Structure 1
């Protein structure tokens, strides 16, 4: 009986121990990063400017698991067209810090507002959000529509609540949900990204880069916190506020997206009838890097 209890305790403790033994991101690790770093109110944020100074500014916000390198192909082409592109790593990802706390809308908006102030980004810029970055961007646009020239959303989250039995346990059950996430997510993340190895990409080595995030302490807890807080929120009020403000919105969808399904397009059409939509045939959720050319064509048009 005692040995059975010990075995159960070991099984329960192992995922937390494995997470605690992962290395922290340090200044030495950041030496190979492209771009620069800003010490903001919640921690260090990695950011990168591309494109000519004086060009129209576009700020890019990435999604749940893939840091700012997801924008590499899109940002390079926009920069080549004269756009001044600012991309950055959300807290818990890439080269940015892993601060504790609920990763909700206020958490991410504070990081974005801090970075805009630090980099002296004025009004009239374009905000581009991908997946969860679409939720963050919509929340910012609803709160500050006068600051933006336009809002561009790529496979945006926030149209539907997270569903499924596993999701309900992970999101709603303390400790056991954490244990389940630490146990299951790394394997699922590797499996999901490995499935894209044969796809074309504008980001060389993106699968290895995505899987490399699992090496660092704080990545999986950050993903869990975002699922529990940012991605558990439906943004109907925000999108209706954006529509009422008259802010131009372009939404780009992948026809074969299983993460943010194409049926969510109808939801956004209901909330914001004036939004313009582009559907890219054959594209899944990785539309930002698997179909960068089509994304850029949609943005240019």
Structure 2
């Protein structure tokens, strides 16, 4: 598997802390923003950046707060406005004034939708890979949201358990190779704080209204999902398709949650094709 060799680490100083980002591609290219999910930081896009750059795009990927090399804000709750403001602030610091296309995976797909609904003039189109919709385990969530008890539960989780994303892959060898890269940018202490704050905020509440609002904007939307995904259920994806009926949907047979990492040869052409397609959803 070939990985994109990223430029040196770069950081943007935002009000709530540093954001680690990487920019690649021709300066004159249309900007595509890649937003990772909870499974892994920006390295999840290592197999995606190269093909997008080869297609002429200027690619921006970054670590969400609490992930990778970005800071971990000391907040009890990570609400969706935190993630929306992080991206908005990053685009402002980098002086990206023109609208961008956004590709997001898992919670990153939901953040992409939330950002688009809040800042519709700043986004041209949205591609979502198995985005979070509505299916968190409510009983566990209620326990984790309790003061003290939530901290106790998250401390009891071992480092290996917190980092384990094996269920997101079909092939254990691909997961093993990815885990080696993940270990280099993974902090147990930081992840514990961020996981708990993320679960206590509203960023993982039922996102049905967000997707309904996204559909009302009539922007081009592509939705990709693997039929072996153990994180996002078929029921959730069916519900999302009902909410955004004009989305361009592709179902990948034999693919799990991190399908863009495991099967880049199948996912990248779908993403590149969608980004290059003419806007048809906005027509009357």
TM-score, normalised with respect to structure 1: 0.81
Distance apart, 1:191 and its partner CA: 4.3
Task: Determine if the alignment matches structure 1 residue 152 to structure 2 residue 124.
Answer: no
User: 3-state DSSP class of the match of 1:120?
Assistant: coil
Measure, in 1, the Cα distance between the counterparts of 2:47 and 2:61: 12
Q: 2:276: which partner in 1?
A: none
Distance apart, 1:230 and its partner CA: 4.2
User: 3-state DSSP class of the match of 1:91?
Assistant: coil
User: 3-state DSSP class of the match of 1:263?
Assistant: helix
Q: 2:278: which partner in 1?
A: none
Task: Determine if the alignment matches structure 1 residue 168 to structure 2 residue 142.
Answer: yes
Q: 1:143: which partner in 2?
A: 118
Measure, in 2, the Cα distance between the counterparts of 1:132 and 1:35: 23
The runs of 5 or more residues in structure 1 that have no matched partner are 1-31
Q: 1:82: which partner in 2?
A: 56
User: 3-state DSSP class of the match of 1:218?
Assistant: helix
Report if the CA contact (8 A) 1:44-1:97 is conserved.
Answer: yes
- Cα-Cα RMSD: 2.2
Distance apart, 1:166 and its partner CA: 3.3
Distance apart, 1:126 and its partner CA: 0.5
Report if the CA contact (8 A) 1:57-1:84 is conserved.
Answer: yes
1:266-277 alignment runs, 5 A limit:
266-277=238-249
Q: 2:152: which partner in 1?
A: 179
Task: Determine if the alignment matches structure 1 residue 256 to structure 2 residue 228.
Answer: yes
Q: 2:107: which partner in 1?
A: 132
Q: 1:281: which partner in 2?
A: 253
Report if the CA contact (8 A) 1:47-1:86 is conserved.
Answer: yes
User: Aligned pair in 2 of structure 1 residues 198, 232: CA closer, same or farther (>3 Å)?
Assistant: closer
Q: 1:28: which partner in 2?
A: none
Report if the CA contact (8 A) 1:58-1:84 is conserved.
Answer: yes
Task: Determine if the alignment matches structure 1 residue 62 to structure 2 residue 32.
Answer: no
User: Aligned pair in 2 of structure 1 residues 213, 229: CA closer, same or farther (>3 Å)?
Assistant: farther
User: Aligned pair in 2 of structure 1 residues 213, 226: CA closer, same or farther (>3 Å)?
Assistant: farther
User: 3-state DSSP class of the match of 2:134?
Assistant: coil
Report if the CA contact (8 A) 2:224-2:250 is conserved.
Answer: yes
User: 3-state DSSP class of the match of 2:225?
Assistant: strand
1:184-263 alignment runs, 5 A limit:
184=157, 186-193=159-166, 196=169, 198-200=172-174, 205-212=177-184, 214-263=186-235
Question: In terms of Rg, which structure is larger?
Answer: 1
User: Aligned pair in 2 of structure 1 residues 39, 257: CA closer, same or farther (>3 Å)?
Assistant: same
Describe the superposition over 1:155-209 as per-residue Cα deviations: whole angstroms up to 9, x where unpaired: 101x214115434322x322112211121253423444498573447xx942123
Report if the CA contact (8 A) 1:256-1:284 is conserved.
Answer: yes
Task: Determine if the alignment matches structure 1 residue 290 to structure 2 residue 265.
Answer: no
User: Aligned pair in 2 of structure 1 residues 131, 194: CA closer, same or farther (>3 Å)?
Assistant: closer
Report if the CA contact (8 A) 1:68-1:89 is conserved.
Answer: yes
The runs of 5 or more residues in structure 2 that have no matched partner are 1-5, 274-284
Measure, in 1, the Cα distance between the counterparts of 2:268 and 2:185: 27
Report if the CA contact (8 A) 1:61-1:133 is conserved.
Answer: yes
User: Aligned pair in 2 of structure 1 residues 226, 92: CA closer, same or farther (>3 Å)?
Assistant: same
Q: 2:97: which partner in 1?
A: 122
Describe the superposition over 1:250-288 as per-residue Cα deviations: whole angstroms up to 9, x where unpaired: 011111000112322211111111111111111111112
User: 3-state DSSP class of the match of 1:98?
Assistant: coil
Q: 2:9: which partner in 1?
A: 35
Q: 1:27: which partner in 2?
A: none
Describe the superposition over 1:12-38 as per-residue Cα deviations: whole angstroms up to 9, x where unpaired: xxxxxxxxxxxxxxxxxxxx9833111
